[in-house]
Amino acid sequence: MTDRSGSQIDHLNLAVPDLADAVAFYEPVLGSVGITTMLRIPANPAMPAMTGFGWAGVKPFFWLVDDGTVGTNMHLAFTVGSREEVRTFHRAALAAGAVERSAPAVWPEYHDDYYGGFVTDPLGINLEAVCHAPVGDG
């Protein structure tokens, strides 16, 4: 199988119209798979307020930036370590106000072990949790 464990993307900033509302959604959803709020940067004359999320002990890789406009046709996928974490993320997102797009399932059109669940967040973003491990490995 092709190694899909890493990414060359260092971090992603997502512009949101209301930072507090976005953080209220993302904290429990990302927290369900171990991604936590790591840094809150208050607004200043040079930049808007931001909240950074990441894995414990690692730098933030996902940022919500206040006072912006969400883009169209946006999709954001978070890699998790197991199929159970995909299901946990999916349930947490629905409980936090997301709308289901596709229940967790195998998507063989991507590759034989691609297991993902999809929701639409309150801002209209297509969110996914995905596990690439073969059955029994994740």
Residues 52-81 have pLDDT tens digits of: 999 888 889 999 999 999 988 999 999 999
> Has residue 120 got a pLDDT over 90?
yes
- Residue 53 in contact with residue 60, Cβ under 8 Å? yes
In a domain, 1, yes or no: no
User: In this structure, are residues 33 and 93 in contact, taking their beta carbons and an 8 Å threshold?
Assistant: no
Is 62 inside a domain boundary? yes
Strands 50-55 and 99-106: unpaired
Burial degree of 8 (CB within 10 A; 0-12, 13-18, 19+): exposed
pLDDT of residue 124: 95
Cα gap 113→2, rounded to integer Å: 11
The answer to the question of residue 64 being in a domain is: yes
The count of structural domains within the chain is 1
Contact, 6 vs 57, CB < 8 A?
Answer: no
Q: Is residue 44 part of a domain?
A: yes
Q: What's at 23, amino acid-wise?
A: V
Domain that holds residue 20: 12-131
pLDDT at 1: 42
Q: Is residue 78 part of a domain?
A: yes
The whole-number pLDDT of residue 6 equals 66
For the domain that residue 31 is a member of, what is the CATH number? Answer: 3.10.180.10
Q: Would 5 be classed as within a structural domain?
A: no
Of all residues in the chain, what percent carry a pLDDT higher than 90?
83
